[in-house]
Structure 1
Amino acid sequence: MSTCPTAPGVSSSPAENAFVGRQPIFTPDLEVFAYELLFRSGEQNAAMITDGDRATANVLLNTFTDIGLDTIVGSKKAFINLTRNLLTGRNLSCMPADRVVLEILEDIQPDADVLSAIEGLVEEGYTIALDDFVYRPELEPLIGSADIVKIEYPLTPKDQLPDHIGKLRALGVRTILAEKIETQEDFELCKSLGCDLFQGYFFCRPQVISQRKTQVNVASVVRLMSELQNPDITMNEVEGIIQTDANLSFKLLRFVNSANAATTRTIDSLKQATTLMGIARLRSLASMMLMTSIDEGKPQELIRLAMIRGKMCEQLAVDACATRPDRFYTLGLLSVMDALLDKPMEEVIPLLPLADDMNDALLSRAGELGLILQSVINFEAGQMTPPVSLSAEQMTKAYQTSLRWIASITN
């Protein structure tokens, strides 16, 4: 049996194209209810996932900024798998709550951080689904927050299925989705037991959709992300940063219009787009762009180092009573751009429209900015040689503060 909706045509080059797999979810009457979006790295209909966080970020960005949510799902909702890091890192606020269903994967344990993150998403209006769910008493806290529970049909013996579904109903589950349905018999059994939604190869195998990808300059994304750390930044300043990169501007406009595709409102200016997104959602989007823009061979630890270095520079600037501590954060963040881009810093500088004192600090560690940056780099190497005005104790305290900060935003 095949009830697959026709997929848009696909292109060819994985390096130049964005790919997303989609698999429809059906009602008992075989009407399409929604689509689950799946990571694909090329036209081959299989996932080759080495980094779950990066895979999910790719699915989201490919959907919203390159292909378009309306192209992939039309007026239907999109089911999107979440990793624990993306869930607890609170980086999902850029997603339109009325267009997506967030799936909590089966390997995510319901600890305090996970439950708190889910509670926050529910309060923001997101629909939560539990993926590949097999009932265990310790998972009941998850059930209380879920709108949809997906039961993986083959994992539940047929003779236990009625009790399994009955227990979920007794716990208040409103919508049960039977997945991995592969035969007419499977479908009829799950339908007779009162399942509400259905998904599996019996209906339709995943289809791959692609579109030409818009490449974004990593330096532009890093600069945007660093500037968004400034609590006093204005929307006009954000707009000014984004408009220095045409591709970044295009991606933002594409994202906003894709996320609002269910409405008749079209956003046609950066001012409108940045205002509609707001600082928090822009931070979320920028973090996903950064995650997917870095060469896959580059360790994510390098990004973590950059953020810790930036925060440490900022903290030391506060201790030294320097003006504009936020600039020191930006400096520390940008100081690893040579490693990220595989270019000497002399070639990186022209990519970033920075003030002369920032350039001098990055190139030759000159001035107050350069002095603090060098002290942090020395500390990383185990050389306790801070500037005269700072003590070894202040260096250690700044480092510990930075570690606590990075843990609070990434765990």
Structure 2
Amino acid sequence: MFSFVARQAIFDANMNTVGYELLFRDSMTNRFPDVTAEYATAQIIVEQFLGAPLGRLKEYSTIFVNFPYELLIQGVAETLPKDRVIIEILETASPTPQLLKTVKQLSMHGFRIALDDFSLDDTWNAFLPYISIIKFDVREYTLQEISSYIAQKSQRLKNIILLAEKIETEEEYTAYKNLGCTLFQGHLFSKPVIHAANKLIQNQAITLKLIKEVNADAPDFGKIEALLKQDLALSFKIMRYAQNIAFNAKGIKNFRSQSLKDIIYYLGTNELRRFVLVSCLTSVNKVKTDDIYHQSLVRARFCELASAHSFSRHAADDAFIVGLFSQLDTIFEMPMTDLINQIDVSVNVMMALKEKSGPLYPWLQLIELYENHRWEEVSALSHRLGFNRSVVADLIKTATKWVNDIPVGRS
């Protein structure tokens, strides 16, 4: 399965690329599909910020994401990394008191906000102190109308960057540059370019159960942890989500969580519900879990069971993550180093996955040897770890049964 997004570059007056606007696509056809704005934005968040590693976006300095009214009011914008994202208020949004309150809060928390395709009158005056960028649609308004607005609002706009979008000719570029615009977007410079990437597929039955549990009157964090551990996609996404929340709330860039349980308690009920809103409700699908997902879950459970014989419960939690994420590089077709840098895991997990070393790696190595029927090496490594080969076989059998018992499809 692939995710699709069109990226349109944004340039400064010297034709340097300063960022990109992300535009939702559902195929290689370069047009907006017949979906709601809410669905499109939610999919972009899930696929580009939670499901797909930011290693694919290294060329970006700034990322513009369109937000419709409802998702802004629900606080979904706060789940994105504020150091990289500009929140773009869609033209369909109405300047209500509730939206103004949301925009003030986003600005107070350090988010940059762009006003896009808005009416050139006094309707949005109260929002201007909290706006970082104004985008003028040169196809919607004439040069004279835009010039008049800028002149009338000169004092209010003095700290706001002006961007001219849908520029198609050199004459338009020169005219709006002379008008005071310092950022530019349009087909003259760059058309939207579609990118396709592998994406993580959630188990539908586990997703539905998670939605139900998280939205219960008194969510059971133990049950939530158990559900997350049964799904590779959800585990990876909630780690990415927690990383964004930790950075946005406390400026923490190296949030080294020790386990899924730690993340659940760190987020708390309200953030878990928002995670469900963003990730789960837009990602229910009928695609069956791939063999590689099944194998990753078996590895995770085996590493957890095996390490529990030798280390602490905490180490077993880390060992589970090592097994679960051991094939992310194959799923995404990207180097493991780039992938692991996008989530916050313990040093031992990082060593095992990136460097194939450290105290947790032998458990992953053991099951990889077993999968490849390298029996002599299995026996030798098992002996060094204090097992015999029959115990390894029993643990793999137990792990496989645990995975096979995970429901697939609608429950």
Measured against the shorter chain, the TM-score band is: 0.5 to 0.7
Distance 1:147 1:191 in 2: 18
Distance 1:200 1:162, change over 3 A: same
- In structure 2, list runs of 5 or more residues that go unmatched: 287-404
Counterpart secondary structure, 1:106: coil
Query: How far apart are 1:276 and its partner, in Å?
Result: 5.9
Distance 1:76 1:274, change over 3 A: farther
1:28 alignment counterpart: 13
Select which of 102, 107, 116 maps to 1:131.
116
1:378-397 to 2 correspondence within 5 Å?
Answer: none
Query: How far apart are 1:52 and its partner, in Å?
Result: 1.5
Counterpart secondary structure, 1:170: coil
2:277 alignment counterpart: 287
Runs of 4+ residues deviating >6 angstroms = 257-260
Matched, 1:216 2:202: yes
Counterpart secondary structure, 1:20: strand
Distance 1:231 1:32 in 2: 48
Distance 1:149 1:288 in 2: 27
2:86 alignment counterpart: 101
Structure 1 window deviating more from structure 2 (156-165 vs 93-102): it is 156-165
1:244 alignment counterpart: 230
Contact kept, 8 Å, 1:177 with 1:195, in 2: the verdict is: yes
2:304 alignment counterpart: none
Matched, 1:165 2:150: yes
Contact kept, 8 Å, 1:34 with 1:73, in 2: the verdict is: no
Select which of 169, 180, 204 maps to 1:183.
169
Contact kept, 8 Å, 1:21 with 1:209, in 2: the verdict is: yes
Distance 1:229 1:142 in 2: 33
For 1:124, the aligned partner's letter is H
Query: How far apart are 1:77 and its partner, in Å?
Result: 2.0
For 1:204, the aligned partner's letter is S
TM-score by length of 2: 0.62
1:253 alignment counterpart: 239
1:257-406 to 2 correspondence within 5 Å?
Answer: 265=254, 269-271=259-261, 273-274=263-264, 277-294=267-284
Distance 1:226 1:78 in 2: 33
1:111 alignment counterpart: 96
2:43 alignment counterpart: 58
Matched, 1:196 2:182: yes
- In structure 1, list runs of 5 or more residues that go unmatched: 1-15, 297-349, 354-361, 363-411
Contact kept, 8 Å, 1:77 with 1:99, in 2: the verdict is: yes
Deviations 1:348-404 (A, max 9, x none): xx7569xxxxxxxx9xxxxxxxxxxxxxxxxxxxxxxxxxxxxxxxxxxxxxxxxxx
Identity of aligned residues (%): 28
Counterpart secondary structure, 2:95: coil
Distance 1:295 1:241 in 2: 17
For 1:292, the aligned partner's letter is T
For 2:173, the aligned partner's letter is F
Matched, 1:47 2:32: yes
Counterpart secondary structure, 1:21: strand
